[in-house]
Structure 1
Amino acid sequence: MEIGKLEVVGTVGLILFCVFMKYLLDLIWLKPLGMRKKLEKQGISGPSPLFLMGNASEMKEIIRECGLSKAAQAIKPDEITGHGYAPSLFPYWEKWAQQYGPLYMYSTGNKVHLYVNSPKLVKEMSLCMSWNLGKALYLAKSVRPLLGDGVIRSNGKSWADQRKIIAPEFYMDKVKGMIGLMMESVVPLLKKWEESIQNGGGIAEIKVDQDLRNLSADVISRACFGSCYLRGKEIFSKLKDLKNIISSSGFLFNLSNFGFLPTKRNRSTWKLQKEIDSLIMKVMDQSSEGLASGQSESDDHLLQALMKGAKRECPGLTLSSDFLIDNCKNIYFAGHDTTAITSTWCLMLLALNPEWQDRLRAEIFEICGDSLPDADALNKMKLTKMVIQETLRLYPPSPLISREVLEDTKLGDLEIPKGVYLWTSVSGLHQNQDIWGPDADKFKPERFANGISEACKLPQGYIPFGMGARVCLGQNFAMFELKLILSLIVSRFSFSLSPNYKHLPAYRMTVEPAYGVDLLVSKVNY
């Protein structure tokens, strides 16, 4: 009898083991193989993957070779001849694109990726309003401590509900009403630089990237928190530390999945996440007290607007829920980091091209005279907008767009199976000579004189704010803030690159200057 029981247990165990092995084999090999076969039948090729690793080892080797081929990566200001950085940041994509064209597949572990830089298919992705193309779930997991499950990383109905609440707060009429608080943040920076110039005997060397990061943090803090903006700035500091930890781990194609282990890096991540969430909760509590006390509409700030929106659109959502915390982090990161980096690149490019400083200065003086710019004046600054557009073309804050195919989807004539990850190189599109001409890597704001449609052969080749249904919610806010910062700085100061400036774009979730931007700044004499 006992022998019979043991035989049954052994048989059940063997069956369970076989089922598990079949599941494991299907997960790590058969399912990805099936995806690749479907794509191959449609004429899509790519580098051959290795069992378990895919093309990850080859990607690492390409990166290693690229690093060895440029021992001194950073270059001096007088050595900058163009702004094509994609081959150094994503050398595997560039190498494979030369071999297989703008559409090819590759793998990392059990993940099948499709590189899509064919303008025709990028257009199809831009027109796709379906929920079937969502944010990559494995990336969402990697950056969850930084962004949670907010609107940037969520999918499906959750994403649609959050967007419905948040989008109205960035409509043009709301953004125009924020010009005053933007001005409150910029003026102290102008005074700080004027004092540095005076103390330096008429010229000062300023590391502008940190000042612009602080400025952008101040703007978003005031917009989000109102009178509590100083606590918001503390949150920004911790978010920056958290971003640096996450981006240093190679999160894009990291094969390891040990986020649950108490490693030194994970402990630091958990600690920062807890501190950030706690700080946001404190501000939320203060804002809730303001709402309960009948605070007037004129005292509203973004956090309170989100609270009201959540109550209105999702009555069952509590004010202490993750929705508010996660979306505060999303707004802080997207609204602060990208604007700060873009304004930094703007000044770097203008420092290299002083004739454009003169042209902007003349336009600003013609429109504003001795007055500070308002929303209407900013709308009239055509040359300033052109410089910003060209900066976003050459140095888009997010150099890539990722999507996960959540259900079998058709893009043009291409049938893409569920589970495939789509990647579009924004920087690759923005500097494609077939779209922009032979001077695609050069700074030429005049290409935007007659709008985007005349600047390039294919409008879908310009996507600095993303594309499709998931285009950036805060682009109106960002453009107004960038115009204001640029107009106030250029109208008061002239500047050039310091000999200490080392040019090296680096990918840290966004493309930023690896060593910051050092400028020699002096006052403009009219």
Structure 2
Amino acid sequence: MEFGYWLAFAATAVTLAAAVWVGWSAAEWLWFQPRRLERKLMAQGIRGSRYRLPYGDLKEIRNLVGEARRKPLPLSHSILDRVVPHLTRAVDLYGGKNKTPFFWFGPCPRVIIMDPELVKDILSSKFGHFEKLRSTPIGRLLTLGVLAYEGEKWVKHRRIINPAFHIEKLKMMMPLFSACCDELINRWEELVDSSGVFDIDVWSEFQNFSADVISRTAFGSSYKEGRRIFELQKEQTELVAQAARNLYIPGFRFIPTQKNRRRNEIYREVAALLKSMIEQREHAIKNGEAKTDDLLGLLMESNKRHAQERDHLQDASLTTEDVIEECKLFYFAGQETTSVLLTWTMIVLSMHPNWQDQARNEVLQVFGQSKPTFEGLSRLKIVTMIFYEVLRLYPPGVIILRHTYKEMKLGEFTFPAGVQLLLPTILLHHSREFWGEDAEEFNPERFFEGILKATKNQLIFFPFGWGPRICVGQSFALTEAKMALVRILQRFSVELSPSYTHAPYTILTLQPQHGAQVILHKLHPL
């Protein structure tokens, strides 16, 4: 009897202790830490909104973004108040001379860094200083890979992946780029009516095109074979984006909601499809049948070489699970970046037909009606200027996030652990202070003498990131986009359709909310 009493007493004590610990942890996360961070930021003259338990400014942000998305824009490049209304509002209210306002994303303060020198300091950090904001468990269902890793794991993955994107490897993929362009152009020419005109949504077209490219260049398969992965990752992107707009509650992913179940189903199916592809490739390698002219082959070749060179080290190579995550990243980053770049380029050239004519004249001078070569693409100055200006006005990623895991000195400020640093790519790209009064106008001439001259050697243009973590696939994306645009300009002229609605918004990347409807006119070769 006495033993049972003490056992019940012990169980009750443990339960109470656990409840106290959970309660204290919740109070620390949702109240005490935010108040300490708020005091430390404000003591340094950093201004921002007051913390409100437990959501901070999330409800207000959701309302601002929701209201902005209900209203399309006139045809202009003044898109900030629609795309990032919460950022423009924070800068207007709290910016001040230090240009470091902050707002609250749940219990975490997000400091907006508008000083190019501070942006450079943050992005220069290889690792161990300003870390990438860790994905939530829901975010990790979409992709991890080198994009998400820190420390030695990032170093290892980046070292193994880099050779796959070397310029000589990129040249090997030109026939695959060309084959995908052939299919796109042939399909469009079949849609032309007797007058040589047709209306089409190029947003969906370029999504399919870039998925085709990444399927062939990553796995040597056609778009039809890779279509399932593409469709699943596209759905997962939307589901993860919905979760990212809300405060993540630890353990929420285990609640069997409809969206949680669907996210997990997609994760398992994509992983199974990619694992099957990788195992087939490993089998082919063992039998001496495998090609290494696609990204998966190049990655596995580099991984094998890396393991052999460091066979005395544990964990020297990537596991199958690591390779799966890198393949998911190929699909997400490779497909998204190019499709949005091409889409906004078509919209912008429709809005500015004089630049469309200049680009076409350059293309015809360099290539005529011949298929583009790698060397020829590098000689396209006007086309390159146009792409840079489109990337300035419509960067694929509108912000970059970092966080402090320990107290860090940055310029005149000292940021305590737990602060999120938001680098507003799109605000800096549109800043009149740095680009002049025509900052929100389309003017490719600003890049006539290159990026350094256009930016006056300031870090105010970084559509692919910057520093050690700059996008490894930057050259891949630009080469693919250049080849596609060349082929289009050789065969078609483009104007906006009356049904087009100018409504840029973000779902992880900057996209046209209602599609990109244009009218294509088939050109007759001279």
TM-score by length of 2: 0.91
2:142 is matched with which residue: 139, 146, 170? 146
Q: Which residue of 1 aligns with 2:487?
A: 488
CA distance in 1, matches of 2:448, 2:180: 30
| 1:351 corresponds to 2:344 | no
Q: Which residue of 1 aligns with 2:239?
A: 245
Matches within 5 A, 1:18-57: 18-57=20-59
Query: What SS does structure 2 have at the residue aligned with 1:151?
Result: helix
Does the CA-based 8 Å contact 2:141-2:267 persist in structure 1?
yes
CA distance in 2, matches of 1:300, 1:457: 39
RMSD across aligned positions (CA)? 2.4
Q: CA deviation at 1:230?
A: 3.9
Does the CA-based 8 Å contact 2:163-2:302 persist in structure 1?
no
Q: Which amino acid aligns with 1:377?
A: G
Q: Which amino acid aligns with 1:74?
A: P
Q: Which residue of 2 aligns with 1:259?
A: 253
Q: Which amino acid aligns with 2:146?
A: V
Q: Which residue of 1 aligns with 2:167?
A: 172
Q: 1:516 to 1:37 in 2, by over 3 A?
A: same
CA distance in 2, matches of 1:409, 1:318: 33
Query: What SS does structure 2 have at the residue aligned with 1:415?
Result: strand
Does the CA-based 8 Å contact 1:281-1:320 persist in structure 2?
no
Q: Which residue of 2 aligns with 1:416?
A: 415
| 1:117 corresponds to 2:119 | no
Q: Which amino acid aligns with 1:177?
A: M
CA distance in 1, matches of 2:15, 2:77: 61
CA distance in 2, matches of 1:319, 1:283: 16
1:202 is matched with which residue: 196, 205, 215? 196
Q: 1:356 to 1:439 in 2, by over 3 A?
A: same
What CA deviation, in whole Å up to 9, does each residue of 1:218-241 have, x standing for no partner?
Answer: 111111111466432321111111
Q: CA deviation at 1:166?
A: 0.8
Does the CA-based 8 Å contact 2:127-2:150 persist in structure 1?
no
Q: CA deviation at 1:208?
A: 1.4
Q: 1:417 to 1:493 in 2, by over 3 A?
A: same
Q: Which moved more, 1:105-114 or 1:396-405?
A: 105-114
Q: CA deviation at 1:8?
A: 7.5
| 1:191 corresponds to 2:186 | yes
CA distance in 2, matches of 1:86, 1:218: 32
Q: Which residue of 1 aligns with 2:389?
A: 390
Q: 1:2 to 1:422 in 2, by over 3 A?
A: same
Q: Which moved more, 1:215-224 or 1:360-369?
A: 360-369
Q: CA deviation at 1:217?
A: 0.9
CA distance in 2, matches of 1:57, 1:497: 36
2:276 is matched with which residue: 276, 279, 282? 282
Query: What SS does structure 2 have at the residue aligned with 1:403?
Result: strand
Give structure 1 stretches of 5+ with no counterpart. none
1:160 is matched with which residue: 149, 155, 159? 155
Query: What SS does structure 1 have at the residue aligned with 2:519?
Result: strand
2:263 is matched with which residue: 263, 269, 275? 269
Q: CA deviation at 1:394?
A: 0.7
Q: Which amino acid aligns with 1:247?
A: A
Q: Which amino acid aligns with 1:280?
A: L
Q: Which amino acid aligns with 1:24?
A: A
Q: CA deviation at 1:25?
A: 2.6
Q: CA deviation at 1:284?
A: 0.9
What CA deviation, in whole Å up to 9, does each residue of 1:33-89 have, x standing for no partner?
Answer: 22233222222120111132322233334445x44xx86x225xxx41x21222122
Q: 1:106 to 1:295 in 2, by over 3 A?
A: same
Q: Which amino acid aligns with 2:128?
A: W
Does the CA-based 8 Å contact 2:306-2:316 persist in structure 1?
no
Q: Which residue of 2 aligns with 1:337?
A: 336
Give structure 2 stretches of 5+ with no counterpart. none
CA distance in 2, matches of 1:381, 1:478: 16
Q: Which residue of 2 aligns with 1:360?
A: 359
Q: CA deviation at 1:516?
A: 1.2
CA distance in 2, matches of 1:28, 1:97: 25
Does the CA-based 8 Å contact 2:101-2:111 persist in structure 1?
yes
Q: 1:520 to 1:11 in 2, by over 3 A?
A: closer
Does the CA-based 8 Å contact 2:350-2:496 persist in structure 1?
yes
Q: Which amino acid aligns with 2:92?
A: Q
CA distance in 2, matches of 1:283, 1:345: 33
Q: Which amino acid aligns with 1:153?
A: A
Q: 1:331 to 1:15 in 2, by over 3 A?
A: closer
Q: CA deviation at 1:19?
A: 4.5
Q: Which amino acid aligns with 2:211?
A: A
2:298 is matched with which residue: 300, 305, 312? 305
Q: Which residue of 2 aligns with 1:107?
A: 104
Q: Which amino acid aligns with 2:297?
A: Q
Does the CA-based 8 Å contact 1:311-1:317 persist in structure 2?
no
Does the CA-based 8 Å contact 2:504-2:512 persist in structure 1?
yes
Q: Which amino acid aligns with 2:408?
A: T
Query: What SS does structure 2 have at the residue aligned with 1:453?
Result: helix
What CA deviation, in whole Å up to 9, does each residue of 1:113-139 have, x standing for no partner?
Answer: 2121222311222332333222212x3
Percent identity, please.
32
CA distance in 1, matches of 2:188, 2:24: 66
Query: What SS does structure 1 have at the residue aligned with 2:236?
Result: helix
CA distance in 2, matches of 1:521, 1:7: 79
